[in-house]
Amino acid sequence: MSVWALGINHTTAPLDLRGRFAFALDQIAPTLQGLRQSLGQGHEHRNVETAIVSTCNRTEIYCAGDQPALDHTLGWLAHSGGVSPDLLRSHSYVLEDGPVARHAFRVASGLDSMVLGEPQILGQMKDAVRAAESAGALGSTLNQLFQRSFAVAKEVRTSTEIGAHSISMAAAAVRLASQLFEDLGKTRVLFVGAGEMIELTATHFAARNPKSIAIANRTLERGEKLATRFGAEAMRLADLPDRLHEFDIVVSCTASSLPIVGLGAVERALKKRRHRPMFMVDLAVPRDIEPEVKQLEDIYLYTVDDLAGVVQTAQASRQAAVAQAEAIIDAGVQSFMHWMDQRDPQHGVVPLIRQINGQADAWRAIEIARARKRLARGEDLDAVLDALSRGVARKMLHGTMAELRNADATAREQTAHTASRLFLRSQSKKPL
């Protein structure tokens, strides 16, 4: 069994390219089915386990199968995003076996995030696992990989201070807004979307007591639910073009595949505002706000990549925590690879254990069937049970006894040593 992964993230690929490969949760199942179907067209890649982790900062495909298929997986992903395999390869990372586990553990622990130690990625990975399970694409190998990732992440977060000095994307947005507006208490803030990132960002802005807060969402009911938390107004996305001019700060993060806020809408809003500045943050991948908006005067537009420099602070104070986390991850990788080695069909012990258990079950079934026939004939119960136990014991010991009787001196000595260790364990214990 082999595991492999490929992906792009905020360190390897620009925002617009990442946007081509962003998958909403409801897209994961059909996407995984398409990937597995593509892999299954060749005889050597049937029944491949697959999972996709897709966030604003990364898209990663994890696979497990008898033989690695990195080139095929990369080609399929490139086709799905409408780019050439060479272009995708130049912005991606490909991993196999141990490095896959190390990467997954680092991602789950927040060590590979734009915000070091950020906790949201763990929930996003768990969502990805649930989506893969629902699609029937997750097998024992990938399930083991992800469950171990979650366990390692928990240990990292409880045993180190990896997230103690981090500045979140939400906090960074507030910091930048404060540089533009002297008093956030006089600003009107609009949040587009009602997901986890918007909820987090709204919490940070609400703490600065802005003049008003509004939540615009495609589903009004969900928007109203979030708005209630902050004493905010809920509005429909359809009303956004007519009301955009009312707001000084706009933060957007939706799962839309197309921009929600266009250049024309912002231009009209600026005219109504008489060119008073607007601060805009686009946390979505793909973009919610057309990139041309950034060229307008009086518009201060920031993307997730623009915020990267703001969040990379207090680096020195986190180095000790990073070193501790890496040590925990090293141990986790070794444990996972040991688990994988045990299941190797040629050299692992698990296939042998399964064969031994199967043989023992077959012998047991023979003796039980024989015992039932004797009971049906009315034979004594104790005699039948004695014969049953003797029959099973003889079958289990036959191979060992034959080796002891027939092997040459050297082989007999080795067999005797092994047999005594396996069957005479109670006698090897020292008396108390």
- Which residues are the active-site residues? 56
Pairwise CA distance, residues 410 & 76, whole Å: 56
Q: In what order do the strands lie in the sheet with 93-96?
A: 49-54, 58-65, 2-9, 93-96
Which structure tokens are listed for 26?
Answer: 């409801």
- The C-alpha angle with vertex 385 and arms to 382 and 386, in degrees rounded to 5, equals 85
Confirm if 89 and 74 have CB atoms less than 8 A apart. Answer: yes
Nearest CA among 192, 305, 310, 316 for reference residue 256: 192
Question: Which DSSP letter does residue 292 get?
Answer: G
**In one letter, which amino acid is 113?**
S
Find the length of the chain.
Answer: 432
Q: Residue 65 — φ and ψ, nearest 5°?
A: -165, 175
Pairwise CA distance, residues 234 & 228, whole Å: 9
Confirm if 384 and 371 have CB atoms less than 8 A apart. Answer: yes
Confirm if 250 and 244 have CB atoms less than 8 A apart. Answer: yes
